[in-house]
A and B are shown apart, each in its own frame.
Chain A
Amino acid sequence: MRILVVAEQDGTAVRLASRSALTFARSCAAATDGRVQWLMLGHQLDMPAADAAAFAPVLVADNPALLHPLADRFAHLIAAAVRHCQADLLVAAAGTWAKDIVTRAAGLLGGAMAGDVVAHEFHEGRFYLQRPMYAGAVLATVELCGAPQIITVQPSAYPPAEPGSTAAEITRLDVNEADLPQQMEYVGRVSQRTARPDVSDARVIVSGGRAVQSVEDFERLVGGLADSLGGATGSTRPLVDAGIAPSDSQVGQTGKIVAPDLYIALGLSGTVQHLAGMKSAKCVVAINRDPDAPVFTAADYGLVADIYETVPELIAKLGDPDGKARSRRS
């Protein structure tokens, strides 16, 4: 198999999620005696392309017209690169970037696409993929018909790839601006990101639900506990809808799918839609006033308590374990 992996980058390096997609691609290449290349699009890509080359050869489309991710032109170039390389498989990490752009590219390439893949298997010459449906209540085994095949993988299902021993080749692709679709225009972006880790790849996530009553409380309770554990903040849809938590923190069927080592659910009931986003966490802790909240059936550890009373206590105790900090200070 000739495999192209779309490399998302943050201006300096390849995103961790794309390295998870590379792990999937390397496994497919190993099973089919294939080879893997990155495909990176954007502008001023010298640093991220050099970072990517530590992992695999890189095809780079670098042009001022690609400064912002516009689906029509990005998909056009991705489809052209797939045809140019005669790639059999196009892989990307399943985030909103790829769901917008790579899915459109798949629409230009014949539509043999599976999204949100969490497992795969080559068996007797066939390529089986597993992906969740019905908010994760069902796991489907699917097969793609036709070529090329396009797959997005859930980054939480594959560990980020490690670099190779030597830097690989970087090849520049020609971008002819006049050929690019011009029907979309980038206006701007408002990011509500904080200094905390990104919820998509954090090892610890503290999530708040409906019990959190204000932006200030979210910051003090959910943010405070996240900070004492070096973690990220997550939230549920009702909390984002209410304007209490930022939209890019939403975990669930229609938000982010996460798989941290530790997921602490504060005052959230545990709807099917939310659980779909965090059921792969290694350890789940639930704190809720309602002992019958469904979240307890999805948790390893629980505490029936009001988060407004318990969380400040937890923050204090985590910040000052066994009173040791006080004795050091004195």
Chain B
Amino acid sequence: MKILVCAKRVPDPNLPIAVRADGLGIDDRDLTFVVNPFDEVALEEAIAMRERATEPVEVLAVGIGSESCDEQLCLAMAMGADRAVLVLCDEPLDSWNVARILRQIVLREMPQLVLMGKQAIDDDSNQAGQFLAAQLGWPQATFASRVEVRDGGLRVDRETDAGIETVHVCLPAVVTVDLRLNQPRYAALAAILRARRKPLERLTLDALGVAVEPRLRVVSLQSTSGARSCRVAGSADELLAELRAAKVL
């Protein structure tokens, strides 16, 4: 079995995000970059599936973006991915074009399963997996919190607004994962150094035969502030009195 896992390079979610003065992008001067936390969960799941499997499983990590994405792909391989593909592309991509590029990789590699985060913590789109499944005509299981190989397919628990929903999907399939699926392992330094010797293939959009067709154009960005001025009460009674005075209660 071959599993394709996405590893998007995103800013560290613990750092504050500021918009550039021109309003056309974020200020990345003081940012550090990580593997999208949702993709990290997808990677962990793929590696754990390989460890549990009785037959050979290959885990292929895919990144799309600038040359610096090799840092995240190395981390993916340090976690346990067998090899990686980096699709070089310097222009910003919307989910539609990400899915189109992934589709070409899927057609080249023919995996039985694509595992990816349900969303990336930069654009928060939650689209690429569903777009990819639609483009391939494959079944999908989104927001997975449990994945089990069963009856030649997958039984997946999905986290929905209405509770935990369970579906069975045939393979090949696209599964997008939620954070509660697992706890990703840490990559040890020695593993990171060893990962540099694992195969990392670089591809261009030309080589894949993909020309970017924009579907969503970002016009401008603005920072939002959720800051409010807080009136701190001295006691529960005082808090209730203030809330009643403000007609909140």
Q: Which A positions have Cβ atoms within 8 angstroms of B?
A: 70-72, 75, 95-97, 99-100, 103-108, 110-116, 128, 132-146, 181, 183-193, 200, 229, 237, 240-241, 246-248, 253-254, 256, 261-262, 272-273, 275, 279, 283-287, 291, 296-305, 310, 313-314, 317-318
B161 contacts A95, CB within 8 Å? yes
Roughly how many angstroms separate A164 CA and B74 CA in the complex, as a whole number? 58
List chain A residues, Cβ under 8 A from B217: 142-145
Q: Which of B2-49 contact A (CB under 8 A)?
A: 11, 13, 16-17, 19, 26, 38
A318 contacts B240, CB within 8 Å? yes
A183 contacts B216, CB within 8 Å? no
Interface centre among A96, A273, A296, A299 (most CB of B within 10 A): A96
Instruction: Tell me, yes or no, whether B210 is within 8 Å of chain A by CB.
Output: no
Among B131, B137, B232, the residue within 8 A (CB) of A302 is B232
By DSSP majority rule, is chain B's interface helix, strand, loop, or mixed? mixed
In the assembled complex, the CB of A302 is this many whole angstroms from the nearest CB of chain B, namely 4
Known: A111-B96, A187-B166. A313 touches B216 (CB 8 A): no
Interface centre among A104, A141, A286 (most CB of B within 10 A): A104
List chain A residues, Cβ under 8 A from B180: 240-241, 247
Size band of the interface chain B makes with A: 35 or more
A145 contacts B223, CB within 8 Å? no
Among A112, A137, A184, A237, the residue within 8 A (CB) of B224 is A137
- Please, what's the 1-or-0 string for B119-141, where 1 marks a CB less than 8 Å from any CB in chain A? 10111111100111111011111
Roughly how many angstroms separate A314 CA and B233 CA in the complex, as a whole number? 13
B219 contacts A275, CB within 8 Å? no
Instruction: Tell me, yes or no, whether B203 is within 8 Å of chain A by CB.
Output: no
Residue of A nearest to B226 (CB): A279
Roughly how many angstroms separate A193 CA and B173 CA in the complex, as a whole number? 30
A189 contacts B124, CB within 8 Å? no
Question: Given A138-B221, A183-B139, A297-B228, 12 other A-B contacts at CB below 8 A?
Answer: A100-B160, A104-B134, A107-B134, A137-B223, A137-B224, A138-B17, A138-B19, A146-B215, A184-B168, A186-B165, A247-B164, A262-B249
B231 contacts A135, CB within 8 Å? no
Roughly how many angstroms separate A183 CA and B163 CA in the complex, as a whole number? 22
A71 contacts B142, CB within 8 Å? yes
List chain B residues, Cβ under 8 A from A286: 230
Pick the 8 closest A-B CB pairs, nearest first.
A107-B134, A111-B96, A191-B163, A183-B139, A187-B166, A107-B131, A279-B226, A103-B130
Residue of A nearest to B136 (CB): A107
